[in-house]
Amino acid sequence: MNALAGRFPARTVRVKAPGKVNVSLDVGPLRPDGYHSVASVYLAVSLYEEVAATSTQTPGITVSISPESTLDLDGVDIPLDENNLAYRAAAMMADVSEHATGVHLEITKRVPVAGGMGGGSADAAATLLACDALWNSGLSRDELAHIAADLGADVPFSLLGGTAVGLGLGDELSPALVKAQTDWVLVAADYGLATPEVFRTLDRLRDAEGHEAAEPTAVDPRILQALRGGDAVALSKVLVNDLQRASIELAPKLRHTLGRGEALGALAGLVSGSGPTVALLTRSPAAADSLAEDLRHYGLTAFPVHGPVHGARIISDTLL
Ligand code: ATP
């Protein structure tokens, strides 16, 4: 049956939410609760997911992936049931909304799946905002952020956008005022890495070295300073990602991608979050465009982006 059957009168709220790059990511030791504390600088970048939430007469939540998605999703595993983060976001909103109806969520995927850029988290953030509008739930941004944190550590940041320092599990966010833009090239891989496995690999590497990681409590102030000044050269010297070596251990090809990016003129490169997307820092928008083009000549999937950009935003609200 068509997911939208029996939908009248229906309304569609469309929201876009950005993916992120962790400009720095310090990871603490494995905690007794199985998680790791982090200290990270998040940057929202101009690669957006979109969620169109349409009210349906039939109760329940359905999810589909839009044919407009720019990713090659052949063989990519995106659950369409309650394991989808957008589904779970809608279910949590329904629990707190007096006027919840059935809803169909159509997701336009642009952020690489299982790429370390928080694509699923962006879908969840977009869904929270869309359902809030669709059902006139009237939640404040703070209330939405609370629900977001229950969905996953990266969801609150996609809601917030911009630049932020994340502590704790990454969900204790302090926005940083950054007006200057930095320009990046993202190189997507044709495979994904499971975030928990990357963390486990880091623990294993550290154990083997007898390395006792410290609890991270703050980020390197030089990172925020360089971002504020839009000083890509200074920033290139302080990029850090503790997970990078674990990602490379699991996917050694990443070393070549980083090396190729730097050989073709990137100021520096790092694996984004748990990877395998690689973020290459460049001097200017023009440098990012030409680096992306050069990388495409080598058969890589590369796109220029900039950051910071806004968090989740409603882009249309239509009565059907
Ligand atoms: P993070 O960096 O937050 O760990 P990620 O960007 O590496 O996330 P996602 O694209 O968010 O990874 O998805 C990771 C896994 O979550 C996927 O392999 C998929 O099985 C599942 N998943 C759940 N909901 C979604 C969604 N809306 N879009 C994509 N994958 C989803």
| Domain enclosing residue 172, as ranges | 11-177+309-319
Examine the pLDDT at 7 and tell me if it is beyond 50. no
Encoded tokens for 213: 């990681």
What is the pLDDT confidence band of residue 8, given thresholds at 50, 70 and 90? low
What pLDDT, on a 0 to 100 scale, did the predictor assign at position 1?
43
**Nearest-10 crossing angle of helices 119-134, 85-96:** 30
108 and 145 assigned to the same domain: yes
26 and 172 assigned to the same domain: yes
34 and 147 assigned to the same domain: yes
Higher pLDDT, 178 or 1: 178
What is the CATH classification number for the domain harbouring 144? 3.30.230.10
Tell me what percent of the residues of the chain surpass a pLDDT of 90: 89
50 and 171 assigned to the same domain: yes
Q: Which helix (H) or strand (E) holds 39?
A: strand 36-56
User: Within the chain, what is the greatest distance between any pair of CA atoms?
Assistant: 63
DSSP conformation letters of 131-182: HHHHTT----HHHHHHHHHHH-TTHHHHHHBSEEEEETTTTEEEEE---S-E
Encoded tokens for 198: 């990357």
Number of separate domains in the chain: 2
Span 110-143, pLDDT tens digits:
998 888 899 999 999 999 999 999 999 999 999 9
Average of per-residue pLDDT values in the chain: 94
> 123 in ligand 1 pocket by Cβ < 6 Å?
yes
* Average pLDDT value for residue range 289-311: 97
Q: Is 2 domain-assigned? A: no
113 and 210 assigned to the same domain: no
Q: What is the DSSP letter of 274?
A: T
134 and 150 assigned to the same domain: yes
> 116 in ligand 1 pocket by Cβ < 6 Å?
yes
* Mutational test site, ligand 1, from 85, 105, 158, 277, max ligand atoms within 8 Å of CB: 85
Residue whose CA lies nearest to ligand 1 atom number 31: 120
* Average pLDDT value for residue range 187-216: 94
Angle (nearest 5°) at CA 119 between 73 and 238: 120
230 and 313 assigned to the same domain: no
110 and 250 assigned to the same domain: no
Q: Is 282 domain-assigned? A: yes
Q: Is 27 domain-assigned? A: yes
216 and 171 assigned to the same domain: no
Q: Is 5 domain-assigned? A: no
28 and 134 assigned to the same domain: yes
Q: What is the ipTM of this complex?
A: 0.94
**pTM for the whole structure:** 0.94
86 and 204 assigned to the same domain: no
Span 77-98, pLDDT tens digits:
899 999 999 999 999 999 999 9
